[in-house]
Structures are given as structure tokens and as C-alpha cells.
């Protein structure tokens, strides 16, 4: 029961300290906000289309342009197909991409020499490349309709289905929130006893030291639950995150990451014994796990040489990478059972981290240096 009382005391303190609450919840939510701006803009590119040919081929191309899409969204949002309006919007800079279907397009297509033009305000090379590739793909889809395909693409996905950007980001943010909340909340719960000079109250109690340790971990986990649930609710609303697989299995993995975070937080908290230092160390630690393990697949695509290759190799060996990967597979509806192998490194790491945390906490709760 003492474990519970310690946790209740910490929760009471937590809700009375706006700084703690803000640190615990706002950082993951800031990520959600950031990606909520980035993801939609990378999903659909607004373009204006100047249709200067009245042939059926021009209409078909425009229709194709409107219909090409990825798993999660159309590639283009055609703002207007009025030639005059399209050129005006592009010239004024209100439109970044202008597709021109020139006069005589229908005849040219019939002769096998059809051409469309893409005009781009180059705001950055990635955006320009995106538009070029998407228009190029649209042309290919259009050609496939009128003749034999000139290229056959065969995709082999790592997962059971195509992972949408929203799901990919949602799982990453959810697990980041879990590890971050566990780390920061437990770290703060531990360090605040020394920062606020209240540790002696616990040290002097006639309770086994293991009870004090368990109380602190429970306090951190409870506070983290609030943060993780808040973030989960937001990713469901903002990114439309709807896991096809077991929600319970995903929640279980979020709990695993929270426990890992709590262990790391306890270690940091007892080592530095200052709340501000816990936050300063906790944020980059959780971000490191997020960027390395949460984006292992993205790193893989870039890891030809240099520092990115090193980062990718590092991410492969991080035990947390498997948890991110399995969570994504679960989100796509795969069975949890055959994925346990990927989780093994994390399941080995967690008891080790908790063991170190318990040892350090016990030692800190055991004795004091002189004069304190």
C-alpha cells in the first residue's frame, strides 16, 4: 500500500506544478503539431492547370491528373483548370506549380508526340522534384491508358500493406510520447525529492527501500499514462490513426516503451538530482531514440555513405528499433505472435535498465553523505 501512497503523493504534486505538466505533455504535442503541418503538404500538391486544348485527350489527361493518388491522398489538388486564371495565379506567385496542356495536345498525342509543360516556382528542390516526378507519373498513367505500359513496376513492401505517412508518423509519435513521458515524469518524480530537499522524508521512513523505488516508478508511469493517452487521442484526430491490428498489442508496446523510459528517467533523476537537468537530458535522450529508432526505415533509404550510414547502423542495433517496427506492423493488421522475435532485444534491455535504476535508487535512498 505504501507504494500506492507514494505515487498518490507524487500525482498530487504533479497536478499542482504546471511546469511539470507542461513539460510532460506539450513536447509530444508540439511534434504532433509539427507533423500535422508537414504531412498533408507532402501528401497533396496544389497545382493550377491551364487547359488550352479542347480535345478529348486533353480532358482525359486532366482527369488523370485529378485521379492519380497514393494510398492516403490524391497527389494533386487542381485549384483551377481555367487557362487564364491558372496563369494569373502562377504569375502572381499564389500557385507554385502550373501544368499547361497546350493547344494541339490531342493531335500530338494521336501522333505519339504529346507534350505537357510543368512550370514551377522553385521554393525548394524537394518540392520541385515532387511535382516533376508526380507529373511524370501522371503522364505514364495517361499513356498506359492509350497504349501498352512501357514500364512494369513491382513493389515488395516490408509490411503486410502499404504504410501510409499518417500511420508511420502516428506510431512514431505515440512511441516517442511513451518513452519521453516515462523518462521525464519518472526522472522529475525522483529528482524533485532532492531538488525540493524532501528526500529525507522518504529516507527516514521505516519502509523497505524497494517500496520507495516501486512508489517512484508507479508515480512516473501514472503521470505518463495521462501524457500518452493525450497524445494518442490527438494522433487519432489529427492523422486519422486507425490501427487495423490489435489495439491492445499496440497499447502493450507503448507500455513497454513507457517502462523503458521510466527506467531511464529514474537513472537520470537519481544521477543528477535536479529537475531542470532531468528535462535537459531527458528531451535529447528521448529525441535520440525517436529519430534513430522511429525513422530507421527513412534512414535506410538515405544510408549510402557518410554519417547517415553510421546512424542507420546504430539504429539497427538499438533494441528500441524493433518496437517501432513491430508497432507499425501491428497497425497494419499483422499478428503480434510472429513479431515477438523483433522485440527480443527490447525485452532484454528493459530488465537491465530497470535493474540499474533500482540499484541506483536503492543506494540513493539508503544513505546520505555527511553534513546533509
Q: Which residues bind another protein (CB under 8 A)?
A: 1-2, 5-6, 9, 12-13, 16-17, 196-208, 366-372
Closer to another protein by Cβ: residue 58 or 270? 270
User: CB of 205: closest distance to another protein in angstroms?
Assistant: 4
Closest to another protein by CB, 289 vs 361, is 361
**Shortest reach from residue 201's CB to another protein, in Å:** 4
CB-nearer residue toward another protein: 178 or 189: 189
Residues 319, 293: Cα–Cα separation, whole Å: 8
Q: How far is the CB of 7 from another protein (least distance, A)?
A: 11
Shortest distance, CB of residue 134 to another protein, whole angstroms?
Answer: 55
- Full 3-state SS string of the chain: CHHHHHHHHHHHHHHCCHHHHHHHHHHHHHHHHHHHHHHHHHHCEEEEEEECCCCHHHHHHHHHHHHCECCCCECEEEEECCHHHHHHHHHCCCCCEEEEECCCHHHHHHCCCCCCEEEECCCCHHHHHHHHHHHHHHHHHHHHHHCCCCCCCCCCCCCCCCCCHHHHHHHHHHHHHHHHHHHHHHHHHHHHHHHCCCHHHHHCCCCCHHHHHHHHHHHHHHHHHHHHHHHHHHHHHHCCCCCCCCHHHHHHHHHHHHHHHHHHHHHHHHHHCCHHHHHHHHHHHHHHHHHHHCCHHHHHHHCCCHHHHHHHHHHHHCHHHHHHHHHHHHHCCCCCHHHHHHHHHHHHHHHHHHHHHHHHHHHHHHCCCCCC
Nearer to another protein, 6 or 289 (CB): 6
Cβ proximity to another protein, 316 vs 362, nearer residue = 362
Alpha-carbon distances of 17 from 20, 77, 202, 325, 350, rounded to whole Å: 6, 46, 20, 35, 29
Q: Which is nearer to another protein, 14 or 75 (CB)?
A: 14
User: Which C-beta is closer to another protein: that of 1 or that of 150?
Assistant: 1
Is 18 or 307 the residue whose CB approaches another protein more closely? Answer: 18
CB 278, min distance to another protein, A: 17
Distance separating alpha carbons of residues 80 and 2, to the nearest angstrom:
67
Q: How near is the Cβ of 9 to another protein at its closest, in Å?
A: 5
Please, what is the minimum distance in Å from the beta carbon of residue 92 to another protein? 57
Measured from the CB of residue 187, what is the shortest distance to another protein in angstroms?
A: 18
- Closest contact distance (angstroms) between CB of 209 and another protein is 9
Q: Which is nearer to another protein, 205 or 298 (CB)?
A: 205
Amino acid at each position: 500500500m505504501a507504494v500506492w501512497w507514494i505515487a498518490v503523493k507524487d500525482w498530487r504534486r504533479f497536478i499542482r506544478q504546471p511546469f511539470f505538466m507542461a513539460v510532460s505533455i506539450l513536447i509530444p504535442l508540439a511534434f504532433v503539431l509539427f507533423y500535422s503541418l508537414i504531412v498533408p503538404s507532402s501528401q497533396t500538391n496544389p497545382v493550377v492547370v491551364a487547359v488550352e486544348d479542347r480535345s478529348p485527350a486533353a480532358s482525359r489527361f486532366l482527369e488523370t491528373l485529378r485521379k492519380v493518388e497514393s494510398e492516403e491522398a490524391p497527389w494533386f489538388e487542381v485549384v483551377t483548370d481555367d487557362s487564364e486564371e491558372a496563369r494569373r495565379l502562377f504569375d502572381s506567385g499564389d500557385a507554385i506549380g502550373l501544368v499547361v496542356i497546350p493547344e494541339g495536345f490531342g493531335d500530338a498525342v494521336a501522333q505519339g508526340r504529346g507534350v505537357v509543360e510543368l512550370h514551377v516556382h522553385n521554393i525548394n528542390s524537394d518540392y520541385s522534384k515532387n511535382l516533376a516526378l508526380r507529373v511524370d507519373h501522371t503522364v505514364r498513367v495517361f499513356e498506359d491508358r492509350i497504349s501498352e505500359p512501357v514500364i512494369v513496376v513491382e513493389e515488395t513492401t516490408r509490411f503486410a500493406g502499404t504504410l501510409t505517412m499518417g500511420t508511420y508518423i502516428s506510431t512514431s509519435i505515440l512511441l516517442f510520447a511513451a518513452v519521453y513521458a516515462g523518462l521525464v515524469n519518472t526522472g522529475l518524480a525522483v529528482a524533485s525529492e532532492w531538488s525540493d530537499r524532501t528526500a529525507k522524508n522518504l529516507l527516514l521512513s521505516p519502509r523497505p527501500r524497494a517500496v520507495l523505488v516501486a512508489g517512484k516508478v508507479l508515480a512516473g508511469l501514472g503521470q505518463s499514462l495521462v501524457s500518452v493517452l493525450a497524445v494518442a487521442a490527438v494522433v487519432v484526430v489529427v492523422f486519422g490513426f486507425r490501427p487495423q491490428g490489435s489495439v491492445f498489442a499496440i497499447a502493450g508496446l507503448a507500455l513497454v516503451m513507457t517502462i523503458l523510459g521510466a527506467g531511464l528517467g529514474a537513472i537520470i533523476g537519481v544521477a543528477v538530482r535536479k529537475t531542470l537537468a532531468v528535462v535537459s537530458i531527458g528531451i535529447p535522450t528521448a529525441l535520440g531514440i525517436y529519430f534513430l529508432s522511429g525513422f530507421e526505415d527513412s534512414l535506410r533509404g538515405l544510408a549510402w555513405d557518410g554519417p547517415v550510414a553510421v546512424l542507420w547502423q546504430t539504429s539497427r542495433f538499438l533494441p528500441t528499433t524493433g518496437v517501432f517496427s513491430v508497432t507499425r506492423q501491428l497497425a497494419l493488421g499483422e499478428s503480434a505472435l510472429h513479431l515477438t522475435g523483433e522485440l527480443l532485444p527490447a525485452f532484454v534491455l528493459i530488465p537491465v535498465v530497470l535493474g540499474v535504476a533500482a540499484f541506483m535508487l536503492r543506494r540513493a535512498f539508503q544513505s546520505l553523505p555527511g553534513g546533509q
